[in-house]
Structure 1
Amino acid sequence: MIRLFIAALICITIFSIYYDLSKGTIPIANEQQAAPVMTTPSLTEEQDTDTETDSNATYIEVEVKAGDTVLTVAERIANKPIPVSITQLVEDFQILNEGMAPEKIQVGKTYKFPLY
């Protein structure tokens, strides 16, 4: 009886790991529905933003919130998938932020993000 219980427990554990790796446990669709829809390159009022003063603004300053990455912020600014490769986004981000690595951004700090 104990062997049967241990076998069932191992099967449940393996299935849980498989499900988590293949489908994930974070409901991404719900997060996207809850996010505000933006029609312009400007962001929601809860985020600090500044753009260059000329009409050909090349970047926007955004305060990083918990869970933000350079890619998610760039997609939120563009209101769609970005039209450049991730490598190009990383290079542009580093140029605008004086060599700051995208992996090292910190919550609550303001960074410049390229506009595409």
Structure 2
Amino acid sequence: MRRLSLFIIGLFLCYIIYYDLQIGTLPTVNIISTTSTQAAQVEDKSNPSISFYETKIKQGDTVLSITEHHHGRLPTSIDQIVHDFESLNSNVQAEEILYGQTYRFPDYN
């Protein structure tokens, strides 16, 4: 009986490991709602035209996570994304975005 119990526990542990590796137990990311369906153009001194999309910040969002979710992966360097975000949103630091506010994010498509 003891061997059977250990065998069942071993199978259960193998199933748990398989499930974590294949499906995962972390919550899925909700689709970020964009307020503009068309990418708009804005004039900037350092970049002649940066296309952007607007997104309302949800709890736990960062500039990089929103950009990565929109593009599937980071399309350019982190420094470039932060620079473009700060140039689109005057007087806003990338590290200090506020929950519930709507910001412009660079669109690299």
What is the TM-score normalised by the length of structure 2? 0.60
Partners of 1:58 and 1:100 in 2: CA distance: 18
Contiguous gaps of at least 5 residues in structure 1: 1-27, 37-43
- Bigger radius of gyration, 1 or 2? 2
2:29 to 29, 35, 38: 35
Show the counterpart of 2:93: 101
2:56 to 58, 63, 67: 63
* Percent of aligned pairs with the same amino acid: 34
Superposed CA offset, 1:30-54 (max 9, x none): 23xx235xxxxxxx4x734124457
Partners of 1:103 and 1:65 in 2: CA distance: 14
SS at structure 1 position matched to 2:105: strand
Show the counterpart of 1:81: 73
- Tell me the CA shift for residue 99 of structure 1: 3.8
What is the TM-score normalised by the length of structure 1? 0.56
Q: Tell whether 2:107 aligns with 1:111.
A: no
CA root-mean-square deviation: 2.6
SS at structure 2 position matched to 1:47: coil
Partners of 1:49 and 1:96 in 2: CA distance: 16
Structure-2 change in CA distance of 1:89 and 1:65 (3 Å)? same
Number of residues of Structure 1 aligned to a counterpart in Structure 2: 77
More strand by share: 2
Contiguous gaps of at least 5 residues in structure 2: 1-23, 42-49
Partners of 1:48 and 1:60 in 2: CA distance: 7
